[in-house]
Amino acid sequence: MSPQATKNRPVPSVRKYPKNWRWGILFILPWLIGFCILQAYPLIMSLYYSFTDYSILSEGKWIGLDNYTRLLHKDKYFMKSLVLTFKYALLAVPMKLIMALIVAMILNMKLKCINLFRTVYYLPSIMGGSVAISILWRFMFMKEGMINKFLGVFRVPSVNWLGDPNIALVTISLLVIWQFGSSMVLFLAGLKNVPIELYEAAEVDGANKWTKFWSITLPMLTPIVFFNLIMQIIHALQEFTSAFIITSGGPNHGTYLIGVKIYEDAFQNLKMGYASASSWVLFVAILLITLLVFRSSSAWVFYNDGGMD
Amino acid sequence: MKKQFKKHAALFMSVSMAAITLIGCGSAGKTNETGQTTQSAAETSVASGDGAPVTLRFSWWGSDNRHGALLDAIDAYQAKNPNVKIEAEYQGFDGYYEKIMTTLSSNTAPDIIQLNKEWLPDIQGAKHYLADLSTLPVDLSTLKDRLLEISGTYNGEANLFPCTVGGSPVVYVNADFAKEFGIDLTKNYTWDEIAELGKAVHEKDSDAYLMTADADMLNRLFIQPYLVQKTGKPIIDEETYAPNFTEADATEAFQNILNLYQSNALEPFGDAATFAGQMDQNTKWINKKIGMIVDYTGSAPKYLSSVDSPLEVISAPVMENAKSTGVVYGGDRGFSINDNSAHKDEAAEFLDFLMNDPEAIKIQKTEVGYCPTQQAEDILIAQGSVDELQKKAIDLVAKDPYINNMISGNTELEVVRKDLIQEVIYGDITPEDAAKELLEQYEEILGQLKTK
């Protein structure tokens, strides 16, 4: 909040605790307990484990920074899978947002049965990252699967969707792009909030549709683009299910996302300490990227009420 | 007044939610307590011989056939022992290893667990998780000769009751395919002959391939046997933890794989990868466009049921002047008892029934495994429940096998091989460089394993 924005409002005395703060604590207790046991504790323990050689089956002993040096210097798949994960995010996130925006704009028009369409387009997100959909995806994109059969009708030569390491990553991204529902709903809400006067004024000035989108719709939507971008980047960098179920990281590590690597190290190679170290590196990477996007936001995000500097 | 009521109601709900959260987290501790009380109860029941109610958890992986057979055997046991209740926890192979490892470490593992013998070093090497079967009421003497020693023993202790006998590799052949392409099934092929034959097949029908395999199969059924054929020894020495093969041997083994792909004897890797772990469902195999699959003897039923054509089984390819057949024979899978179980004796009694009781054998047939005991073989052959193809496959591997050791089956070593195989196939790395890297990585991993 900028100083201008808060100036007009009465400033509450936030420094003093309200006298019934104990009640407040009591009310958030259910969440607090869940948070401590299910999130804070594992988070702290995984940091500790990352400095040990803990395997699932035996107690670990302290090995200092060994896991980290090994990760960065010796493990030829770690950097590879980290880069691959960024590639995946770069592919999936923009496509998903563009898709969500386009569909949101269509669904913002005055059409018959519009609520039905909105529901239908949201459906993939409900089925979402489930294992069943991933398995379905595998069957659809097989060499002799439905997609290739369909392409065959138009005489398009069949594509090796899952067998070619370079294409497999795209195939997996498609699954996530298809699940644009939650971003779409947010865009839709944003679109509803764009004041109609702006469009009317622009029309009077003789703006065409494209100019209206570029100079009114998009700037007004930037706060939502910003929110969606952050959420989707975080999700994409943690992607696991699709890469694990559809291709199990293969072929030839073409879809070996960092999430799959962490899982394999922890549960198949029984190197929980090592996997914890990887996830901490990933955590820091996600944190840095998120901060970077936040930093950049002042340059491109437009708040109607002057909310941010 | 009203406000006060609201506040209290909200407080009540909040506290009860917190309580629920706490109960959820505390339940593990609670069951432990009851576990201990039942443990003492169980001890007295064994001592006095009365039938206090006991619940056992039994976990395995497999296909529907195996699930059905084991569930029937459980029913039969429960009918005979009304005080024992057996809870079955079964699934496919995917994720089973991970699940069992996690439950063992968190002390929530089942009482009776199906395991692969290769996992024994991982599990038992970490901690004494599995019970010594020789101290429990289960008859181990019925097992076929040396089976327990080869496949069920770790550190001189009997930890696994092998539930199957068999080996690998053998080659399943679609007889119709063989007729169509004029393949001679009486001879024992060399790797080079297989490559030539594959080339001829693919030239005749560009849609057809002689064989197919996924990364796991290439590793266990091609690379490993090849190295053993070359050296005549298991790939890793059990005493020194050093590889028994040289860089040149490994180069040759990788080159052999590459030859099979370049001559089109093997279906392109990317196409086969979609069916990883379930090659019997490969559409080309089902449609008679693939004629041979190299696999374990235990896979006979699944290949039989996947195609309409009759199947044949032949010996795996060997190299010229091989020092060994590269064939392993033994029991790769079996049942163990959780050392932390509160009911080890009852679990052992159930295991004894499962493996040694004629009734249980008749129920299970060969669905759980192929006759680990002579008794099972006699009963099932007399009953006519032994599948001919499988029997033939087992006779092939039993002829001239080599004895493998546990360290050669180490998961971490396998992962390295599988990664390198794929890099060679996709041309990221030459067979020479792959061999060099293989030995470098093995040196490091084996060094770590040795210090443990």
Q: Are strands B161-162 and B333-337 parallel, antiparallel or unpaired?
A: antiparallel
pLDDT of residue B140: 95
pLDDT of residue B255: 97
DSSP H or E run through B50? none
Nearest CB partner across the interface for B104, out of A26, A57, A162: A57
| Contact call for B21 and A37, based on CB within 8 A | yes
DSSP H or E run through B29? helix B2-48
pLDDT of residue A125: 81
* N residues, chain B: 452
pLDDT of residue B2: 60
| Contact call for A251 and B10, based on CB within 8 A | no
In terms of CA atoms, which chain A residue is nearest residue B99?
A267
pLDDT of residue B19: 65
In terms of CA atoms, which chain B residue is nearest residue A31?
B18
pLDDT of residue B266: 97
B412/A contact by beta carbon, under 8 A: yes
A248/B contact by beta carbon, under 8 A: yes
pLDDT of residue A188: 92
Q: By three-state DSSP, how is residue B366 classified?
A: coil
CA distance B227 to B57: 41
pLDDT of residue B32: 40
B193/A contact by beta carbon, under 8 A: no
- Which chain B residues touch A26 with a CB distance below 8 Å? 11, 14-15
B145/A contact by beta carbon, under 8 A: no
State in Å, rounded, how far the first CA of chain B is from the last one: 69
pLDDT of residue A128: 62
A263 half-sphere exposure, CB direction, 13 A CA radius: 18
Chain A / chain B CB contacts < 8 angstroms: 94
Nearest CB partner across the interface for B274, out of A26, A77, A162: A162
Nearest CB partner across the interface for B122, out of A23, A57, A164: A57
- Checking if the pLDDT of A116 tops 50, the result is yes
Mean pLDDT of A23-30: 88
- pLDDT digits over A161-184, tens only? 888 888 999 999 998 888 888 899
B341 vs chain A: nearest CA distance in angstroms? 17
Nearest CB partner across the interface for B412, out of A29, A164, A269: A269
In terms of CA atoms, which chain B residue is nearest residue A269?
B412
- pLDDT digits over A127-149, tens only? 766 788 888 888 898 888 889 99
Select from 1.10.3720.10, 1.20.120.50, 3.40.1170.60, 3.40.50.2300 the CATH code of A65-300.
Answer: 1.10.3720.10
- Checking if the pLDDT of A233 tops 70, the result is yes
Provide ipTM, 2 decimals.
0.79
Nearest CB partner across the interface for B271, out of A23, A55, A143: A143
B79 exposure class (CB count in 10 Å sphere: 0-12, 13-18, 19+): exposed
A162/B contact by beta carbon, under 8 A: yes
A212/B contact by beta carbon, under 8 A: no
pLDDT of residue B42: 41
- What confidence tier does A83 reach under pLDDT thresholds 50, 70, 90? very high
Phi, psi dihedrals of residue B233, rounded to the nearest 5°: -130, 160
Q: Is residue B43 a contact partner of residue B37, using CB atoms and an 8 Å limit? A: no
B7/A contact by beta carbon, under 8 A: yes
pLDDT of residue B15: 67
A251/B contact by beta carbon, under 8 A: yes
Nearest CB partner across the interface for A142, out of B17, B268, B274: B274
pLDDT of residue B39: 42
Return the residue in A19, A80, A252 with the most chain B beta carbons within 10 A, the one to mutate for interface testing: A252
A56/B contact by beta carbon, under 8 A: yes
| Contact call for A267 and B22, based on CB within 8 A | no
B309 half-sphere exposure, CB direction, 13 A CA radius: 19
CA distance B372 to B330: 9
Q: Are strands B54-61 and B112-116 parallel, antiparallel or unpaired?
A: parallel
pLDDT of residue B34: 39
CA distance B92 to B113: 14
B276/A contact by beta carbon, under 8 A: yes
- For chain A, what percent of residues have pLDDT higher than 90? 51
A136/B contact by beta carbon, under 8 A: no
pLDDT of residue A8: 55
Domain ranges of chain B: 53-165+331-388, 170-326+410-451
- pLDDT digits over A36-51, tens only? 999 999 999 999 999 9
A3 exposure class (CB count in 10 Å sphere: 0-12, 13-18, 19+): exposed
- Which chain A residues touch B426 with a CB distance below 8 Å? 165, 251-252
What's the mean pLDDT when you consider all of chain A? 87
| Contact call for B25 and A77, based on CB within 8 A | no
Nearest CB partner across the interface for B105, out of A56, A138, A163: A56
* DSSP state letters, chain A: --HHHHHTSPPP--SSPPTTHHHHHHHHHHHHHHHIIIIIHHHHHHHHHTTB---SSS---B-TTHHHHIIIII-HHHHHHHHHHHHHHHHHHHHHHHHHHHHHHHHTS--TTHHHHHHHHHHHHHHTT-HHHHHHHHHHTSTTSHHHHHHHHTTPPPP-TTTSHHHHHHHHHHHHHH--HHHHHHHHHHHHTS-HHHHHHHHHTT--HHHHIIIIIHHHHHHHHHHHHHHHHHHHHT--HHHHHHSTT-STTTT--HHHHHHIIIIIS--HHHHHHHHHHHHHHHHHHHHHHHHHHHHH---TT----
pLDDT of residue B23: 57
C-alpha dihedral sign at A242, A248, A251, A257: positive
| Contact call for A247 and B129, based on CB within 8 A | no
Domain ranges of chain A: 14-49, 65-300
CATH number of the domain located at residue range(s) B53-165+331-388 in this protein: 3.40.190.10
Q: Which CATH superfamily is domain B170-326+410-451 in?
A: Periplasmic binding protein-like II (3.40.190.10)
pLDDT of residue B47: 39
Residues lower than pLDDT 50 in chain B: 25-49
CA distance B39 to B60: 24
- Checking if the pLDDT of A121 tops 50, the result is yes
pLDDT of residue A306: 57
pLDDT of residue B94: 81
Nearest CB partner across the interface for A58, out of B126, B283, B422: B126
- Which chain B residues touch A250 with a CB distance below 8 Å? 215, 273, 276, 422
A20/B contact by beta carbon, under 8 A: no
B273/A contact by beta carbon, under 8 A: yes
Contacts 24+ apart (CB under 8 A), B216-220: B216/B276, B216/B277, B216/B418, B217/B279, B217/B294, B217/B295, B218/B257, B218/B418, B218/B421, B219/B414, B219/B417, B219/B418, B219/B421, B220/B168, B220/B169, B220/B414
